[in-house]
Amino acid sequence: MKTAHLEWTADRSLRMLDQTRLPTEERWVEARTYEDVAEAIRSMVVRGAPLIGVVAAFGMAMAAASAPDSLDEAAAALRATRPTAVNLSWAIDRMLAFAAAHSNPHDVIQEAERIAVEDAAMCREMSRLGAELMPARGGVLTHCNAGALAMVEYGSALGVIRAACEAGKDLHVFVDETRPFLQGARLTAWELQRLGIPMTLITDNMAGYFMQAGRIQAVVTGADRIAANGDTANKIGTYSVAVLAHEHSIPFYIAAPVSTIDLRCESGAGIPIEERSEQEVTHFAGVRVAPEGVHAAHPAFDVTPARYITGIITNAGIARPPFRSDLERFVKGVEAVA
Ligand code: MRU
């Protein structure tokens, strides 16, 4: 299995393009054990909800191949890396269930590869469906990075924009820089530039200005976890963008695979929010910008209440308010096929 940023090698290691170094350096990191994989997820060498699920599946495959009795330990270590993205637990649970029924490590590796292949197919399908919702021309704002880098390939929110452009729509993307980790400035801008899609990079606090000026006709972002009622966790700052979009009557869409829907979470109140290091806020590119001794908060995600969401684009269809019945139908449909 090999994509532009992920490779499962013949000697059972996982090579990952290091997303902490982009766009200045294209450096690859190699993981040989599940502990290496857990560290790559924790340090954000790989990030994005669907991608960390896929990578964790390969971590589980490594554990199954080297010491099958370490699977529970591997699951716990991988699960603890990043709590908000449900795709991580989803992939780990699927691997645990598969390994319990199949003792041959080769089969377990194939299951991880299947998760990767399915992820790619889900992206294509949701992008195709979501492209229809994009305006024929105009500005589309996105927050964080929900492009190919956050998945196996193609992307979710960026996939929707990409598919719309491929279908001939004339879009201009407004890219929120996404403080503090700068996924927008570093990764989304890098991807759009390589795709040749016109864009303007803005700081997060400029979104309202451009909406008020009539430059943004739609917003589309990814998701880390979607609760049964449609409340959606995504990168910190998404909630502010959704409220602004609502104020300006601009449609606000979420694009995510069905594996991001968590029906066990009744509402956003049940979604755990990852707290990351305050250093990522007090420092910029490794340089301290706040006075010595100042403390900072760093919730890495926030929850956008369902009432601000116009539609949730998934590979199984587009969920519309009040969301619950559509989301349940999509998840049950996928379970029935599996
Ligand atoms: O902290 P990150 O970079 O992993 O956060 C990523 C996001 O918030 C994405 O929007 C989300 O995971 C969806 S990626 C298709």
Q: How far is CA 295 from CA 19, 171, 210, 286, 291, in A?
A: 26, 40, 31, 16, 9
pLDDT at 318 (0 to 100): 98
Annotated active-site residue 326? The verdict is: no
Q: How far is the CA of 229 from the centre of ligand 1 (A)?
A: 20
Given the CA of residue 19, which atom of ligand 1 is nearest to it?
3
Six-digit token string for 285? 């590119």
Q: How far is the CA of 301 from the centre of ligand 1 (A)?
A: 9
Question: Which listed residue (224, 231, 302, 326) is catalytic?
Answer: 224
186 secondary structure, DSSP code: I
What are the backbone dihedrals phi and psi of residue 267, each rounded to the nearest 5 degrees, phi first? -150, 180
The Cα–Cα gap between 173 and 158 comes to: 10
Q: Read off the pLDDT of residues 145-183 as tens digits, 9 standing for 90 and up.
A: 999 999 999 999 999 999 999 999 999 999 999 999 999
156 lines ligand 1 (CB under 6 A): yes
* Run of H or E residues at 219: strand 218-221
Q: How far is CA 331 from CA 79, 123, 228, 248, 263, in A?
A: 22, 16, 10, 32, 8
49 lines ligand 1 (CB under 6 A): yes
The Cα–Cα gap between 150 and 119 comes to: 11
Contact yes or no for 265/227 (Cβ under 8 A): yes
Q: Read off the pLDDT of residues 264-310 as tens digits, 9 standing for 90 and up.
A: 999 999 999 999 999 999 999 889 999 999 999 999 999 999 999 99
The Cα–Cα gap between 167 and 68 comes to: 47
What are the backbone dihedrals phi and psi of residue 197, each rounded to the nearest 5 degrees, phi first? -95, 125
Give the number of C-alpha atoms closer than 13 A to the C-alpha of residue 11, restricted to the C-beta side: 4
The Cα–Cα gap between 281 and 301 comes to: 14
Question: Ligand 1 pocket check: which of 141, 183, 313 to mutate, most ligand atoms within 8 Å of Cβ?
Answer: 183
Residues β-bridged to residue 201: 175
pLDDT at 102 (0 to 100): 96
303 lines ligand 1 (CB under 6 A): no
Contact yes or no for 68/96 (Cβ under 8 A): no
pLDDT at 337 over 90: no
Q: Read off the pLDDT of residues 73-88 as tens digits, 9 standing for 90 and up.
A: 999 999 999 999 999 9
Structural domains present in the chain:
6-123 (1.20.120.420), 130-337 (3.40.50.10470)
Q: Read off the pLDDT of residues 45-71 as tens digits, 9 standing for 90 and up.
A: 999 999 999 999 999 999 999 998 999
pLDDT at 188 (0 to 100): 99
Six-digit token string for 188? 């989304």
84 lines ligand 1 (CB under 6 A): no
Residue 25: count of CB within 10 angstroms of its CB = 8
The identity of residue 145, as a single letter, is N
Question: Ligand 1 pocket check: which of 145, 158, 226, 262 to mutate, most ligand atoms within 8 Å of Cβ?
Answer: 145
Give the closest residue to 44 by CA, choosing from 63, 61, 59, 29. 29
Query: Residue 11 in 3-state DSSP?
Result: coil
The tokens 């196996």 sit on which residue? 152
